[in-house]
């Protein structure tokens, strides 16, 4: 028997992988959670039918969502990760020597448990109870609204803006993010595909620009996501990734490097034009 799994990435575009084995399948209060072992991407987390992270390419996403904002900040100490249930973002964040504490607020405990069991490399920092990492299972939106500590960097490592991730793409949420950041703080969010989510990207860029003096978009190649390219949006109170001298990492990375830290912000014309329309 040959099993195939297809994600309909848009209404008219499907990405299909051959499946070796379904390792986990469950339904939480929030979503359907599946971990499959695939021929092409190795083990992969799938939420409500959407490919989230795979052993094949997770390092690209996690290095780019963590190191780009963290190297823009001259001395990030207190970091908040919203979402990121697979643990890859806190794994990368906790590698920074300047970082003293990484709070992580993930809404779905079943995602964390499944990843700790079936994606051991990605969830390494969670499995090993990394001393810097403090995991809370809870609502990131509520946490942000009530945040009483101020963060240097906030990383919004969310799923798509349908289902539990929806409220993380709103003006109200960005206001709470702004308030929870120190006067020189900055945040980043994964903001979907430059090809397939242009109205969303336009809207959230407008929202972030209305609050933060600096708003920058960057790109990374991610094979499991629609179109293979993915956007990240950075809102900052003081440090501009285009102007700062980024801190250098003192540990090995598989994708990220200091030149990519700059070049990832260079956008093709069609994306520049999309964003310019909403200045």
- Catalytically active residues are 157
Question: Which one of residues 36, 45, 50, 60 is an interface residue with a second copy (CB under 8 A)?
Answer: 60
- Binding to a second copy, residues 103-162 (CB under 8 A): none
**Cα 140 to Cα 62: distance, rounded to the nearest angstrom:** 19
Which positions from 177 to 216 touch a second copy by CB under 8 A, shown as an x/- string?
Answer: -----------------xx---------------------
Q: How far is the CB of 146 from a second copy (least distance, A)?
A: 38
Residue 75 interacting with a second copy (CB under 8 A): no
Whether 160 has a binding-site annotation, put simply, is yes
What the block records as the tokens of 235 is 């809102």
SS3 229: strand
Whether 39 has a binding-site annotation, put simply, is no
Angle at which helix 198-209 crosses helix 269-276, to 10 degrees, equals 50
Please give the DSSP secondary-structure letter assigned to residue 216: E
- Size of site (CB under 8 A) for a second copy: 42
Which positions from 228 to 257 touch a second copy by CB under 8 A, shown as an x/- string?
Answer: xx-----------------------xxxxx
Q: For a second copy, give the closer residue by CB, 59 or 151.
A: 59
Whether 230 has a binding-site annotation, put simply, is no
Q: How far is the CB of 231 from a second copy (least distance, A)?
A: 11
Residue 13 interacting with a second copy (CB under 8 A): yes
Helix residue ranges per DSSP H, the chain: 58-72, 88-93, 109-118, 124-127, 140-146, 171-180, 198-209, 258-263, 269-276
Q: Which of 273, 233, 193 is nearest to 15 (CA)?
A: 193
DSSP string, 89-146: HHHHHTT-TT--EEEEEES-HHHHHHHHHH-TTTTHHHHTT-TTEEEEES-HHHHHHH
Residue 55 interacting with a second copy (CB under 8 A): no
Q: For a second copy, give the closer residue by CB, 60 or 111.
A: 60
Let me know if 11 is exposed, middle or buried by CB neighbors in 10 A (0-12, 13-18, 19+): exposed
SS3 153: strand
Q: How far is the CB of 90 from a second copy (least distance, A)?
A: 21
What the block records as the tokens of 28 is 């939480």
Residue 270 interacting with a second copy (CB under 8 A): yes
Q: For a second copy, give the closer residue by CB, 146 or 269.
A: 269
Q: Compute CA distances 110 → 52, 151, 223, whole Å.
A: 15, 27, 25
Chain residues binding a second copy by CB under 8 A are 4, 6, 10-18, 38-40, 57, 60, 194-195, 219, 221-223, 225-229, 253-257, 259-260, 262-264, 266, 268-270, 272
Binding residues for spermidine: 62, 86, 157-160
């Amino acid at each position: 028997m040959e099993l195939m799994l297809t994600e309909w990435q848009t209404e008219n575009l499907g990405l299909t992988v051959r499946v070796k084995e379904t390792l986990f399948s469950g339904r939480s209060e929030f979503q359907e959670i599946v971990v499959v072992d695939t021929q092409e991407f190795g083990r992969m987390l799938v939420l409500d039918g959407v490919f989230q992270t795979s052993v094949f390419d997770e390092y690209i996403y996690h290095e780019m969502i963590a190191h780009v904002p963290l190297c823009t900040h001259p001395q990030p100490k207190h970091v908040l990760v919203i979402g990121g249930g697979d643990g890859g973002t806190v794994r990368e964040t906790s590698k920074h020597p300047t970082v003293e504490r990484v709070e992580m607020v993930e809404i779905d405990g079943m995602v964390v448990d499944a990843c700790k069991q079936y994606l051991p490399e990605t969830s390494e920092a969670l499995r090993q109870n990394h001393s810097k990492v403090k995991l809370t299972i809870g609502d990131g939106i509520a946490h942000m609204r009530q945040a009483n500590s101020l963060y240097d960097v906030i990383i919004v490592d969310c799923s798509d803006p349908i289902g539990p991730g929806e409220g993380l793409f709103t003006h109200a949420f960005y206001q709470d993010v702004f308030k929870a950041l120190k006067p020189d703080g900055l945040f980043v969010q994964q903001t979907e595909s430059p090809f397939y989510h242009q109205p969303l990207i336009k809207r959230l860029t407008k929202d972030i620009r209305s609050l933060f003096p600096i708003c920058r978009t960057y790109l990374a190649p991610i094979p499991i996501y629609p179109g293979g390219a993915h956007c990240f949006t950075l809102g900052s109170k003081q440090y501009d990734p285009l102007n700062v001298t980024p801190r250098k990492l003192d540990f090995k990375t598989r994708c990220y490097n200091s030149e990519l830290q700059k070049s990832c912000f260079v956008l093709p014309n069609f994306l520049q034009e999309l964003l310019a329309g909403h200045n």
